[in-house]
Amino acid sequence: MILPMALTPGGGRSPSTQSPPPPTRTSPARPPRSRVRPRWPRSATKSVLRHGLLIGGLVIIADLSARAITQRSLSADDVQAVLDIDNILNYVLFSALGVLVVRETNIMFAGVVAGLFAALLDAIVVSLAAVMVPPQPTWEAIGLQFAANLVIGTVFAGVSGVVYALVQRWSGGQRSR
């Protein structure tokens, strides 16, 4: 009786046979890819544009609504109250923008870029609306309002985004028991 031979482990070739040599390269070897992540990925740009458009649109609606209400108001106190509410709403919306963008992108200064983008949209639309209204303000007043919108949006979104990122880093460390 002839006993069958035992198979090699793994069912492959026996260890005594040699594999063919690797083919020789005729082209130069490619340099190895670096594993460094880009500082500003494409997803961050998409997040900045998307949230900037959405929150900037809400700020535009708030500003134009305040402008429409103040034009029909008879009392100076009512006008001042509407403008104060509009400013507080702008501060809250721009701060939320900074937090949303930094939370989504994990880039500390993405809130500044998103705030600048949203504030630029708001400043352009509100300045054009001011020019179209019959009692036209001076160009100096329009430029001052344009600059104020840019500063408010950039500062509030930027500061809230940086604070959010710092709080996240701080809370992610070792916790005492």
- Compute CA distances 155 → 72, 94, 99, 104, 173, whole Å: 31, 9, 13, 19, 27
Is 23 within the bounds of a domain?
no
Is 164 within the bounds of a domain?
yes
Domain assignment of residue 125, given as a range: 42-171
Residue 157 has pLDDT above 70, yes or no: yes
Is 141 within the bounds of a domain?
yes
First to last CA, the chain: 73
pLDDT per residue over 89-132, tens digit each? 999 999 999 999 999 998 888 999 999 999 999 999 999 999 98
pLDDT per residue over 27-60, tens digit each? 777 776 666 665 778 888 899 999 999 999 999 9
Tokens (6 digits) for 89: 């709403």
Is 3 within the bounds of a domain?
no
> Hey, CA dihedral for 27, 38, 48, 141, is it positive or negative?
negative
Is 30 within the bounds of a domain?
no
Count the domains in the chain: 1
Is 159 within the bounds of a domain?
yes
What is the distance between the alpha carbons of residues 116 and 1, in angstroms, rounded to a whole number?
88
Question: Mean pLDDT over residues 80-86, rounded?
Answer: 95
Is 102 within the bounds of a domain?
yes
| The overall pTM is greater than 0.75 | no
Is 78 within the bounds of a domain?
yes
